[in-house]
Amino acid sequence: MENRHEWWSNVATEYDDEMARIDGIIGDADGLGEQAARLRTLIGTLDLCQHRSAHRVECIIEVIGAVDPETGTVDSTTPAPCDGRSRRQALAQVCELWVKQTPLAQAQAAQPGYADDVAEIYARLGEFSPLKAWQVERLQLKIADYGFSDVVQSYAEGGTPAESAEGPCRWELENRLLEAFTAIGGGAGVAQDDVQCRLRYGHVREQMLDTAAALDAFAWQQPAGAGWVHAALGVYSPLKAWLAASLARTIRSQLA
């Protein structure tokens, strides 16, 4: 398939034996369905230095998990624990905490898994005011309306990762939310031009490396724990294994 090497364009090396081994999982790529090819193309455009890249990785993993092992097509549903619902609930609660004028440290303690998000949202919103609180409450009501289904439906229907018939996919929603928080705060927070690659933070690198290791374990059918990656990927199939291994290699290469 002509675009096989192009799928590795975001990996800063020549096409090598490991890439060939990964591509060998599915053999002849010409038999891939359109949805699977589009999903592999999405992996090939991943840039871990982009804002919210960790959540893009999470969303790609969820879509891989929605691939039907029998047909190779993307299903429109996924188990509830893997649909990003917990993150949407956390973001909604951050809004609620800010509206209640909860101090930053207490808000971070209430959402320990999203402490960085809490700090960023608080910084963008700035000082409390009743008008800001009303605007944030309106945003809070919208957060739960979007999630995994938007990504899958858009992708299955041939849209781009940022499109769906009803609204943005999750990572596009989060980018819009950050812009909204900044606007509500009157420009508070970090300007987009000043946002640096967050891979310099040790905990972000460790999280990405752990994710890559879990993807590899799934792809090569190695023993694994009960982590969220394996729960999201679901039942093994060669197509899922190929996509998971491709994503793992992409992550590791960009962290090198």
Query: Is 232 within the bounds of a domain?
Result: yes
Provide the residue range defining the domain that includes 31.
2-78+198-255
Confidence at 202, pLDDT banded by 50, 70, 90: low
Q: Please give the distance of CA 200 from its chain centroid, rounded to a whole number.
A: 19
Question: Taking the chain, what is the end-to-end CA distance rounded to the nearest angstrom?
Answer: 28
Query: Is 149 within the bounds of a domain?
Result: no
Phi, psi of 127, rounded to the nearest 5 degrees? -70, 145
pTM of the entire predicted model: 0.60
H/E stretch holding 74: none
Confidence at 244, pLDDT banded by 50, 70, 90: very high
User: Is the model's pLDDT at 82 over the cut of 50?
Assistant: no
Query: Is 115 within the bounds of a domain?
Result: no
Average pLDDT over residues 74-92: 60
Query: Is 154 within the bounds of a domain?
Result: no
Number of helices followed by number of strands (H, E) in the chain:
12, 0
User: Is the model's pLDDT at 161 over the cut of 50?
Assistant: no
In total, how many domains does the chain have? Answer: 1
| Rounded Cα distance, 12 and 239, in Å | 24
User: Is the model's pLDDT at 184 over the cut of 50?
Assistant: yes
Query: Is 146 within the bounds of a domain?
Result: no
Query: Is 6 within the bounds of a domain?
Result: yes
Residue 67, SS3?
Answer: strand
